[in-house]
Amino acid sequence: MKLSIILPTFNEEGHIVDFIEAIRKNIPEEVKYEVIVVDDSKDRTGEVVQEKYKDDLSVKVFLRKKRGLATAILYGIEHSSGDHILLMDTDFNHDPAYIPRMIDMSKFYDIVSGSRYMWGGAMKMARFRFLGSKLFNKFVALTLGLNIADATAGFVLFKKSLLHNLDLKAIFQGYGEFCIKLVYTFKLKAASLIEFPVIYKARPTGKSKTNFTKYLFIYTWATIKTRFNGRKLIHSTN
Ligand SMILES: Nc1nc2c(ncn2[C@@H]2O[C@H](COP(=O)(O)OP(=O)(O)O)[C@@H](O)[C@H]2O)c(=O)[nH]1
Ligand SMILES: [Mg+2]
């Protein structure tokens, strides 16, 4: 396995090096990996990573400096060389301590997906956001026929070959709604998926970029569109 860990960053200067170090500590010795940072920050997140890892070929940094979470992730994937992709938020919400067990599970499943809303999972934040997001995920599962508790965590390890013949430009648009479209196309491909419980850790520095109410509307609309047009996200020709 070669693992490409894609890290989109926006103003994560205060903890990004600690985060990358925590990732490296948790990758088993026998696993080859690369860390790909795609930085759009106004602060010096990308530059700090560049300086720290200038002699380390396993950490690549792209200073994109234009907003867009989903397009940043796609950019990282397009510049990756691994056969497996791991997507993570860079603020410790997604705890690198889970990486070893995700790698283990990826030997048996095409997709390994962190879940806040199954037995053992949790997210310690405003109750309104937790319940809203949990309920929204039930709506996603029902609307798209996905047997999944958490389609929007975005903490996911999958085989890169699953991206073959997907309309990646149409999937990776906007903010976190790409997760819903991606998992839907994976389901259409009959890929095997396992969810495992994750507990979100608190972000050590900086601020969340998610305006929950705004994104609830955007994600709901994306889910409805996927229900009716999702099949078009897979090209039938190649
Ligand atoms: N490259 C890039 N990363 C972003 C952008 N917006 C958010 N992120 C990153 O996306 C991840 C999730 O953002 P966060 O603010 O933690 O959202 P929350 O966990 O939903 O509160 C973090 O790693 C952010 O740095 C963006 O426009 N560009
Ligand atoms: Mg976060």
CA of 68 to the centre of ligand 2 (A): 15
Checking if the pLDDT of 151 tops 60, the result is: yes
The Cα–Cα gap between 58 and 199 comes to 28
For residue range 173-184, list pLDDT tens digits in order.
999 999 999 999
Would you state the pLDDT for residue 125?
78
For ligand 1, atom 22, the nearest C-alpha belongs to 89
Checking if the pLDDT of 238 tops 60, the result is: no
- Ligand 1 residue neighbourhood (C-beta within 6 Å): 8-10, 12, 38-40, 67-69, 72, 89-91, 93, 208-210
Phi, psi of 196 (to 5 degrees): -135, 150
Would you state the pLDDT for residue 105?
98
Query: Model pTM?
Result: 0.97
Would you state the pLDDT for residue 124?
83
Token code pair at residue 83: 């056969």
For residue range 183-217, list pLDDT tens digits in order.
999 999 999 999 999 999 999 999 998 888 999 99
| Mean of per-residue pLDDT scores for the chain | 96
Count of domains for the chain: 1
Checking if the pLDDT of 11 tops 80, the result is: yes
Would you state the pLDDT for residue 236?
78
Mutate to test the pocket of ligand 1, among 9, 95, 136 (most ligand atoms within 8 A of CB): 9
Report the percent of the chain where pLDDT is more than 90.
93
Checking if the pLDDT of 225 tops 70, the result is: yes
Name the maximum alpha-carbon separation found in the chain: 48
145: in domain: yes
Per-residue pLDDT band for 237 (boundaries 50, 70, 90) equals low
CA–CA distances in Å: residue 47 to residues 13, 60, 91, 106: 9, 11, 17, 32
Domain that holds residue 212: 2-233
Strand order in the sheet with 84-87: 59-63, 32-39, 2-9, 84-87, 156-159, 111-115, 193-197
Least confident of 101-110, 119-128, 191-200: 119-128
CA of 228 to the centre of ligand 1 (A): 28
117: in domain: yes
238: in domain: no
**Residue 122 maps to which CATH number?**
3.90.550.10
138: in domain: yes
Atom of ligand 1 nearest to the CA of 93: 19
124: in domain: yes
Ligand nearest to the CA of 89: 1
97: in domain: yes
Residue 121: closest CA among 130, 129, 111 = 130
Residue 1: closest CA among 106, 122, 139 = 106
Q: Is 94 helix (H, G, I), strand (E, B) or coil?
A: coil
The Cα–Cα gap between 25 and 23 comes to 5
112: in domain: yes
Atom of ligand 1 nearest to the CA of 200: 19
Q: Is the dihedral of CA 70, 76, 78, 82 positive or negative?
A: negative
AA identity, residue 9: T
Mutate to test the pocket of ligand 1, among 91, 203, 215 (most ligand atoms within 8 A of CB): 91
For ligand 1, atom 16, the nearest C-alpha belongs to 208
The Cα–Cα gap between 171 and 111 comes to 17
